[in-house]
Amino acid sequence: MPRAIRQNHSNCERRGSRIEICDRFWPYQKVGTSAADPEADFVRQVREAFLKPAGVRSAFTAADEKLALHLCRRAVELEQVRRAIWLGCARKYVAMLNGQTRQPITSLAYFTSLIDEVAQPQIPASYWEHVRRRMEEMEKRWLQTGNPVAVEETAPAEPSPPEMT
From 69, 68, 75, 81, select the one nearest 117 (Cα to Cα): 81
- Give residue-wise pLDDT tens across range 8-42: 446 777 766 667 777 776 766 665 544 568 999 99
Higher pLDDT, 82 or 124: 82
Q: What is the pLDDT of residue 132?
A: 95
CA angle 36, 40, 42 (to 5 degrees): 110
From 76, 152, 143, 139, select the one nearest 108 (Cα to Cα): 76
From 148, 152, 158, select the one nearest 110 (Cα to Cα): 158
Task: Please indicate, yes or no, whether the overall pTM of this predicted structure exceeds 0.85.
Answer: no
Q: What is the pLDDT of residue 5?
A: 46
- Among 75-84, 114-123, 141-150, where is mean pLDDT lowest? 141-150
Q: What is the pLDDT of residue 157?
A: 45
Domain boundaries, the chain: 37-153
Quote the crossing angle between the two packed helices 38-51 and 62-73, to the nearest 10°. 120
